[in-house]
Amino acid sequence: MGATAKPIRWLWRPDIYAIALGGIIVIGSLLPIQSDEPLPEHFYQRGDLYQHIGAYALLTFFALSSWGETLRHAGLVMVSIVCLGVIVEFIQPSVGRSLDIIDLAANSVGVIVGGICMLGLSVWQVRVRP
């Protein structure tokens, strides 16, 4: 007799992913820049903003997957993540980096994108389930 395959449910742990990604974002944002060479201009024009949006969207998606059971909880999670981005940006000048309002806006856009993705997944799951 062959064993039936069990789903790997323990692998989908969005709470652990959210905490780990939040830690990576905070640590990465507060590490001092080691190079004396200025970063290329195009890095600030596109790449940096996409990194902020992507990181905060992913963080929001995992956090909402874990703690966004109700609309109220989802709102609190999203506001908390925006506040995390604000706090990190305001701490950056004390570690030799600069506060950038555009990064704050990109972080907030990432939170909105993550929320929209989670909302889309929720709507899709409701429609697909019999």
Residue 115 lies in a domain: yes
- Encoding tokens for residue 88? 């990190």
Reply yes or no on whether the pLDDT at 45 is more than 70.
Answer: no
Indicate the pTM of the whole model: 0.81
Average predicted confidence (pLDDT) for the chain: 85
> Which ranges of the chain would DSSP assign to H, the alpha helix?
14-30, 41-42, 48-67, 71-91, 101-128
Residues 6+ apart with CB under 8 A from 38: none
Q: What is the pLDDT of residue 47?
A: 72
Contact 25, 63 (CB under 8 A): no
Residue 97 lies in a domain: yes
The total number of structural domains in the chain stands at 1
Specify the higher pLDDT residue, 52 or 123.
52
Domain residues for 53? 43-128
Reply yes or no on whether the pLDDT at 1 is more than 50.
Answer: no
Question: What does the pLDDT look like over 63-101, one tens digit per residue?
Answer: 999 998 888 999 999 999 999 999 999 999 999 888 889
Residue 15 lies in a domain: no
Specify the higher pLDDT residue, 11 or 99.
99
Q: What is the pLDDT of residue 40?
A: 60
